[in-house]
Amino acid sequence: MRPTIKCALIGPGNIGTDLLAKLQRSPVLEPVWMVGIDPASDGLKKARELGLKTTAEGVDGLLPHLQADGVQIVFDATSAYVHAENSRKVNALGALMIDLTPAAIGPYCVPPVNLLQHVGAPSPGRSQDGAAPLGGGTARSAKPGGLLSEMNVNMVTCGGQATIPMVAAVSRVQPVSYGEIVATVSSRSVGPGTRKNIDEFTRTTAGAVEKVGGAKKGKAIIIINPAEPPLMMRDTVHCLVEGEVNREGITESVHAMIREVQKYVPGYRLVNGPVFDGQRVSIFLEVEGLGDYLPKYAGNLDIMTAAAARTAEMFAQEILAGRLVLKATPTAALAA
């Protein structure tokens, strides 16, 4: 039997349940626990039907079993308000936390842009004109064969996962002085957790546009569309570039990045662009989900779960190969 890395999921809502479907297809990840707070949750029920162990006692119900069951990676699909506490408790027992909330207490991760940095791969250098490299950002990565120094990785937001690759595609060609993203999502695809975290969504996404996308200044806008039937996720990316616009280079870079994202999100499509207007570069996107658990129009949620699964798979491969060792983070949280 092929070795796998065991995983736990916190949050049996739409995102957690869709993520579970993706993890079950993974050749290197094995979901074994689902954690919630409502015993009657549909997500917990589905997880039990699929053979996972479950608890309705929150993260505290998982902790006594984490090491005994060999769980090394934990996904948090709850809320920014509770994530920090969840992460402290899990990290103290030596498990890596992959954060699907806008809490952003760990470094941002957008797989096609900077995932390799997180697992210790070398980062490409800057271009001669000073543009940000592919993989630019703030990841605190491990040295190959050594301890992982950062035990929490943040998946930004759905809008960030959809748009930051495009900002990075432009900034790796030439400097971007300003990057603005507009994410339009169906109201049906936005649950109560996301609605409570709208401010965190915009702050976290704007920060990642700068730190991962490479823009000197970033802005993020989310539009929740109540239209029926529900519309697919659509995203608009505007970049103001410095110097003479390298149209050919930017166009080639954007199309190459589209192909990278499509490796784990097949429904990620370029609708129009890049469109050039003076120093402004505009890119128009559409994201269709796989329909694992969520409707296909909920591409905003699908791209988050797909990115989280992709990130975890990369860490798992490094752990299984012996190139990465997880490090417990001592904390007083467990005694609280």
- The DSSP output letter for 94 is T
Q: Report d(CA 317, CA 119) in Å as an integer.
A: 10
Query: Residue 54: its pLDDT value, please?
Result: 98
Q: Which two tokens stand for residue 277?
A: 């207007």
Two tokens at 220? 């993020």
The CATH number given to 157-298 is 3.30.360.10
pLDDT at 80: 87
Catalytic residues: 158
CATH T-level assignment (fold) for domain 5-153+303-335: Rossmann fold (3.40.50)
Residue 76: phi and psi, rounded to 5, are -110, 110
Q: How large is the greatest C-alpha to C-alpha distance in the chain, in angstroms?
A: 60
- How high is the pLDDT of residue 211? 97
Identical fold between 5-153+303-335 and 157-298: no
Q: Binding site for NAD(+): what residues are annotated?
A: 189-197, 300
Radius of gyration, CA atoms only, the chain = 19
Query: Could you tell me if 8 and 66 are in contact, meaning their C-beta atoms sit under 8 angstroms apart?
Result: yes
Quote the CA–CA distance of 312 and 95 in Å, as a whole number. 12
- Buried b / exposed e across 155-168, counting CB within 10 Å, b at 16+? bbbbbbbbbbbbbb
- Residue 330, classified by CB atoms within 10 Å of its CB into exposed (0-12), middle (13-18) or buried (19+), is exposed
CB neighbour burial string for 48-64, b if at least 16 within 10 angstroms, e if fewer: eeeebbbbeebbebbbe
Confidence at residue 328, expressed as pLDDT on a 0 to 100 scale: 80
Q: Cis peptide before 64, with omega less than 30 degrees from 0?
A: no
d(CA 29, CA 187): 31
- What was the pLDDT predicted at 327? 80
Query: Could you say which residues of the chain have pLDDT below 50?
Result: 122-145, 332-336
User: Please, which residues have CB within 8 angstroms of residue 111's CB and are 6 or more apart in sequence?
Assistant: 264, 307, 310, 311, 314
Residues counted in the chain: 336
Cα–Cα distance measured from residue 170 to residue 193, given in angstroms and rounded to the nearest whole number:
32
Residue 200 half-sphere exposure toward CB, CA atoms < 13 A: 19
Residue 148: per-residue pLDDT: 62
Predicted model pTM: 0.88
Q: How far from each other are the two terminal CA atoms of the chain, in whole angstroms?
A: 40
The residue among 40, 35, 142, 22 whose CA lies nearest residue 82 is 35
Are the C-beta atoms of residues 234 and 288 closer than 8 Å to each other?
A: no
Sign of the C-alpha dihedral computed for residues 156, 157, 161 and 165 taken in this order:
negative
Q: Taking the domains of the chain in order of start, what are their residue ranges?
A: 5-153+303-335, 157-298
Residue 260 is encoded by which pair of tokens? 């990278």
